[in-house]
Chains A and B, each alone.
Chain A
Amino acid sequence: MTSTLPRVDTASAAAPQRRRRAPGWLAVVPLLVVTVIAFGIPALAMLNGAFTVKDQATGATSYTTANLTDSLQGAYLTALLGSVKLSALSAALATVLGLFLAQAVVTSRFRALRDAVLTASGVLANFGGVPLAFAFVATLGNSGVLTQHLGLKDAGWDLYSFWGLTLVYLYFLIPLMVLTITPALEGLRAQWREAAQNNGATHAQYWRHVALPVLTPSLLGGFVLLFGSAFAAYATAAAMVGSSVPLVTLQIADAISGNVLVGQENVALALSLDMVLVAGLVMAVYLPLQRRSARWLA
C-alpha cells in the first residue's frame, strides 16, 4: 500500500501544465456535498436532539442538558466505561498479537504462506456481526461443540462474559491489525538493520532503538483503528451477551427501540454524542503522531 515511494512528485512533474489555474476546488465539491448531507445533517440533528427534551403529554419540546447529565451517570455511565474498557483492552491485545503475526509473516521465506495469511486476514477482518456471534455460540457457547467435548463448562468457561466478548472481538481485530501493520513492517529497510548490526547492535537493541520508534506511530494508528472498530461494534455483542456486559452501543439500542421505557430517544442521542467525543479524544492523540510516521515510512 504505502510501499510505493515518492511516486507523487514524479507524476505531478510529468503531468501537462498547460491549464494552470483550473478551478481545482470544483472537483472537491461532490465530496463536500456528500459530507454535508451524510455527516453534517445527522451530526447537527444529533446535537440538537441531545439537548432537547419532549414532553410526553403535550408534545412540546424544550432545550435542556438533562439528557447529557443522564447519559453520564448510573447505568449509562457504567455502559460507557464498559465500552471504553472492552475496546481499549481488546485493541491493545490485538495490536500486540497482530504485530507478532505480521512480523512472522513478513519475514517468512514462504511466499505462499504470506499470501494466504494476508488474504485470510482480509476476509476475517470483515467477518463480524451476528454471523460471527453465532459461529462462536455454536463452538464455545453453553451447548457449543468444543464446550461439550472438552468439558470447558466445568473448567469455568463462560462465553457470555467480558472475557468471552474480548475473545470474539480479537477474532476480527487481529486480522485487521495484520492488514494495517504489514505495509509499515515492509517499510522497515533492510539497510537499517544492516547498519545497526555493523555498528554492533544486538537484535533487541535494533528493535528497541530503531524499528519500534519508527513503527510507534503506525502501531498507535492501528490501535486507534481497532479501538474505533471495537467501540462501535454492536451486532456481535447484542446477539451474544445481551445486557450482561454493559456496552454503550447496546444502551443506545435499548433507549431507541424497546417495549418498556417510553421516551428515551433523546438520551440515546446524548449517548451517541458521548461516543463521538470519546472517538474525538482518541483521534486527537493519534493525529500529531501520524506526521512523524509519514517522515520515515512515506
Chain B
Amino acid sequence: MSQSRTAALSGSLAVVAALALSACGAAPDNASTTADGKNAATATSAADFGGLDALVKAAKKEGTLHAIALPRDWANYGALIDGFTKKYGIKITVENPDGSSQDEINAVTSRKGQDRTPDVLDLGSSFALSAAQQGLVAPYKVASFADIPTGQKDPQGRWFNDYGGYISIGCDAKRIKTCPTTFADLLKPQYKGQVALNGNPTKSGSAFGGVYAAALANGGSFDNIQPGLDFFAKLKKNGNYTPVESTPATVEKGETPISIDWDYLNAGYADEFKSKGVDWKVSVPSDGQYAQYYSQAINKDAPHPAAARLWQEYLYSAEGQNLWLKGYARPALMTALEKAGTLDKTAAAKLPKVSGTPSFPTEAQQSKAKTAIAEGWAKAISG
C-alpha cells in the first residue's frame, strides 16, 4: 500500500519538482572541441567535423554516451549497445530502459544543461516532430542521410526514421489450437479472454498502432480510427479482450496467449522463448496492415556531443542497420542496403511476410486519431 501510494505521489510530485527546478541547472560546458577549433556540438555532419576519424577521436575522448529508454530486448538494442562499445570502447549508460517518449522529452527539458541529460533520443514520430519544433534537438546528417527515404526524415536532419515494423498478431501455439491471422479471426468465440495489447493506446505506441490497424481492417482509414475503437469495444463485449498488457513475462507465462504488437517484438519473443517451450507464432494480419517507424534525434545540449553523433553514424552504418534487422525490425535504410548488396539476407528472409508497401498517416491524420483515442478508448474498453 505505502509503496503504491509513494509511486502515485512521486509520480505527480516528480513532475512538479522537475517543473520547479528546471529553471536552475548548471551551464553547459562545450569541452568537445577539436584541436583546430571545431565544435562537435554544432557539427551537422561528420565531414563538417573533419571526417569520421576526427569524430571517433573526439568521441573516445568523451568516453561515454548517455542514452535513455532503450530496452535491451527491444529491436536488438542489446546487441547494438554491445557492438558500439566493442568497436569504439565507448561506454553506454541507458537510463530508464522502459521509459516512454514523453519520459525522454521530460529528461531533456527538465535537465537542460546538466551532465545527466540524455545525449541521444529514440522517439515516436510525433514526439520527434514536437521536439524539433521546440528546438530541443540538434540538426545532424549521417553519412547515409541521402539514402533514407523522403518523408522519413526531417529535411534539416533534426530527426530521421531509424527502424520500424508492422502490427502483428503473436500467438502461443501450445495453448491455442488454431492461431488467428486476421483481425476478423480475433472475434471468434474460441479466443475468449486471450487477446491482449502491449499497453494502453493512449500511452503505448504499439497499442495505438493496434487500434489503427484494426480500424483499417474494419472499413476505417487513416482519417477515421473509430472502426478500430468499435472493434475493441466488440472484442471487450464478447469477452475476448484481456486487459493484461503483454510483456515478455506475460508472454512467457501464458497470461497473454494472443498479443497484438509490433512484429519485431513478437518475432523476438518467438526466438527468446523457444528454449522455454513456448511456440510463439507471428503473423502480420492481411486485413489490417499498419507500419510505423521510430526516429533518432540528438539532444541539442548533449553533454557528449561527439559520442552522440558517432552513435548515429554507427546506427546508420550497414553494421548497425543489419543488427536492427537481426532483431526483426525493418531498418530505414533497408532498400538502400539491398541495392548496395550489404543487406543481411538471412535476417531479411526471417521477417514476417507482408504484402505490398507500407503507407503512413500524415501528422494531421495521426493527431486526429490520437484525439479520438484519448476520448474514446476508456469508453470502448472499461466497464
Q: Give the contact stretch, choosing among B76-84, B272-280, B327-335, B374-382.
A: B374-382
A242→B243 contact, CB < 8 A? yes
Majority secondary structure, A binding face: helix
B204→A259 contact, CB < 8 A? yes
B19→A56 contact, CB < 8 A? no
Asked if A183 CB lies within 8 Å of chain B CBs, one says: no
CA A82 to CA B379, docked complex, whole Å = 12
Asked if B95 CB lies within 8 Å of chain A CBs, one says: no
B6-30 interface (Cβ within 8 A of A): 7-9, 11-13, 15-17, 19-20
- Given contacts A45-B20, A243-B378, A243-B381, is CB(A142)–CB(B244) below 8 Å? yes
B255 → chain A, closest Cβ, in Å?
Answer: 5
Asked if B126 CB lies within 8 Å of chain A CBs, one says: yes
Contacts of B12 in A (CB 8 A): 46, 252, 256, 268-269, 272
Most B CB within 10 A of own CB, among A232, A233, A262, A272:
A262
Most A CB within 10 A of own CB, among B7, B203, B377, B381:
B203
Closest to B17 in A: A42
A269→B255 contact, CB < 8 A? no
Asked if B199 CB lies within 8 Å of chain A CBs, one says: yes
B193→A158 contact, CB < 8 A? yes
A258→B203 contact, CB < 8 A? yes
CA A245 to CA B378, docked complex, whole Å = 8
Q: Mark B108-136, 1 if CB is under 8 A from A, else 0.
A: 00000000000000001011001001110
B130→A56 contact, CB < 8 A? yes
B127→A259 contact, CB < 8 A? yes
B227-268 interface (Cβ within 8 A of A): 236, 242-245, 253-255
A6-52 interface (Cβ within 8 A of B): 41-42, 45-46, 48-49
Q: Give the contact stretch, choosing among A125-133, A193-201, A286-294.
A: A125-133
B379→A261 contact, CB < 8 A? no
A79→B11 contact, CB < 8 A? no
Asked if A103 CB lies within 8 Å of chain B CBs, one says: no
B229 → chain A, closest Cβ, in Å?
Answer: 12
B63-82 interface (Cβ within 8 A of A): none
Q: Which of B127, B135, B194, B382 contacts A82 (CB 8 A)?
A: B382
B104 → chain A, closest Cβ, in Å?
Answer: 9
Contacts of B17 in A (CB 8 A): 41-42, 45
Other A-B pairs, 15, CB within 8 Å; known A235-B8, A243-B377, A254-B200: A42-B17, A46-B16, A49-B16, A75-B375, A125-B1, A233-B4, A235-B3, A242-B199, A252-B11, A256-B11, A258-B100, A259-B102, A260-B126, A263-B130, A272-B16
A to B CB contacts below 8 Å, 25 in the list? A42-B13, A49-B15, A74-B375, A75-B375, A78-B378, A126-B3, A129-B7, A137-B255, A141-B255, A142-B242, A153-B193, A232-B5, A242-B199, A242-B200, A243-B203, A244-B381, A245-B243, A246-B378, A256-B15, A257-B103, A260-B201, A260-B370, A261-B202, A261-B374, A265-B106
